[in-house]
């Protein structure tokens, strides 16, 4: 069986030519380029303030697909990619939502790779099911790919009322010749969602609790209007990451970097440059 850990190299996009290395990990149904504007701003106008790597997680974007979801395997696949690109250098790893979980597991399993960690609006815990995403999954499955004539046709047929969510989900639609397909491994995600409260994607791996804590500095960013990070999550977070600093951004929802990009850029620049964290 092919797992994400078997994928030697994930698809990446590089931004910047010099400076500290920063890897960005996206959330479910996303892809590395979701972080593109943030990476450009962090790397600076000349591209010399940071070397950013935008990573497509397994089963997303243009990265290889796996046959079974595993946070451990995702983290190992990212680790292999960072080793290949970084040539021994350590990284600041930034992860949002699912990417935040992958980033945390990466830091716990491969601490030698991670100089600093930024976790965006997610906690090291199980979230139950993928109930919030089930409607999106059904809409994506219902889109008649064989009948589509253009991307505009797909947009017209896709029933999601929120234009931002629609654009986010349809970024996964890719044209190959005369046919259309989903870049994201939709069957895998849908199969995991069907597990209900036992969703592996929404869970936190049991073996992570047995690993030593990550001792590097951690910036934990929460959206003030989001429900993904709660006050009671702090104890668990600091058990795994004792040097955690929580930064809550008022008025931001779960997609914090979309709602408050300038604040995120400033926070990342300060965090990467800090010497006394």
What mean pLDDT comes out for the span 25-39?
97
**What is the predicted pLDDT for the residue at 176?**
87
Asked if the structure places residue 105 within a domain, the reply is yes
Check pLDDT > 60 for residue 8. no
pLDDT at 43: 96
Domain that holds residue 209: 4-125+204-273
Q: Residue 178 has what pLDDT?
A: 85
Question: Is 8 in the same domain as 116?
Answer: yes
* Sequential DSSP letters for the chain: ---GGG-S---EEEE-SSSSEEEEE--TT--GGGGHHHHHHHH-TTS-S-EEEEEPPTTSTTSPP-SS--HHHHHHHHHHHHHHHHTT--EEEEEETHHHHHHHHHHHH-GGGEEEEEEES--SS-----HHHHHHHHHHHHS-GGG--SHHHHHHH---S-HHHHHHHHTTEEEETTEEEESS-HHHHHHHHTTGGG-STTS--GGGGGSPPP-S-EEEEEETT-SSS-TTHHHHHHHH-TTEEEEEETT--S-HHHHSHHHHHHHHHHHHH-S--
Res. 276 pLDDT band, cuts 50 70 90: low
Catalytic residue among 9, 14, 187, 207: 187
Return the pLDDT at 6. 41
Q: What is the pLDDT of residues 156-186, one digit of tens each?
A: 999 899 999 999 999 999 998 889 999 999 9
> Is 90 exceeded by the pLDDT of residue 131?
no
Residues 42, 146 within the same domain: no
Q: What is the pLDDT of residues 98-118, one digit of tens each?
A: 999 999 999 999 999 999 999
pTM of the predicted protein model: 0.94
169 within domain boundaries: yes
Does the pLDDT at position 190 exceed 80? Answer: yes
* Region of 94 on the Ramachandran plot (φ > 0 left; ψ -120 to 50 alpha; else beta): beta
Mean pLDDT taken over the chain: 93
102 and 160 both lie in a single domain: no
Residue 238: which residues within 8 A CB-CB, separation 6 or more?
A: 244
79 and 120 fall within a common domain: yes
270 Cβ contact partners less than 8 Å away, ≥ 6 residues apart = none
Annotated active-site residue 14? The verdict is no
CB atoms within 10 A of CB 208: 17
Structurally, how many domains does the chain consist of? 2
Say whether 187 is catalytic. yes
Q: Are residues 112 and 210 in the same domain?
A: yes
Q: Is the pLDDT of residue 275 over 80?
A: no
Residue 199 lies in a domain: no
Report the percentage of the chain scoring pLDDT > 90: 85
Task: Choose the catalytic residue: 26, 96, 254, 257.
Answer: 254
Q: Would you say residue 253 lies in a domain?
A: yes
**Contact indicator for 22, 268 with CB cutoff of 8 Å:** yes
Please write the tens of the pLDDT for every residue from 241-251: 999 999 999 99
- pLDDT confidence band for 274 (50 / 70 / 90): confident
Q: Is 206 a catalytic residue?
A: no
Question: Which of 97, 129, 199, 226 is an active site residue?
Answer: 97
pLDDT at 36 over 50: yes
* pLDDT score of 198: 81
pLDDT at 5: 41
């Amino acid at each position: 069986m092919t797992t994400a850990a078997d994928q030697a190299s994930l698809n990446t996009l590089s931004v910047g030519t010099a400076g500290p290395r920063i890897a960005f990990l996206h959330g479910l149904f996303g892809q590395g380029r979701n972080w593109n504007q943030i990476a450009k701003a962090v790397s600076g106008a000349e591209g010399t303030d940071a070397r950013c790597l935008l990573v497509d997680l397994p089963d997303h974007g243009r990265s290889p697909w796996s046959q079974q979801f595993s946070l451990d395997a995702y983290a190992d696949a990212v680790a292999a990619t960072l080793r290949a690109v970084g040539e021994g250098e350590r990284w600041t790893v930034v992860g949002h939502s699912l990417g935040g979980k992958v980033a945390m597991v990466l830091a716990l399993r491969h601490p030698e790779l991670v100089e600093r960690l930024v976790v965006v609006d997610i906690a090291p815990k199980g979230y139950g099911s993928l109930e919030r995403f089930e409607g999106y999954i059904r809409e994506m499955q219902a889109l008649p790919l064989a009948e589509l004539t253009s991307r505009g046709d797909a947009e017209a047929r896709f029933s999601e009322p929120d234009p931002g969510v629609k654009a986010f989900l349809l970024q996964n639609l890719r044209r190959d010749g005369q046919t259309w397909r989903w870049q994201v491994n939709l069957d895998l995600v849908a199969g995991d969602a069907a597990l209900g409260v036992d969703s592996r994607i929404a869970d936190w791996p049991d073996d992570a609790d047995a690993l030593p804590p990550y001792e590097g500095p951690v910036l934990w960013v929460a959206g003030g209007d989001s429900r993904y990070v709660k006050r009671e999550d702090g104890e668990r977070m600091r058990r795994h990451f004792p040097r955690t600093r929580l930064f809550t951004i008022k008025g931001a929802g779960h997609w914090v970097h979309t709602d408050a990009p300038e604040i995120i850029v400033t926070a990342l620049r300060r965090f990467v440059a800090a010497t006394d964290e």
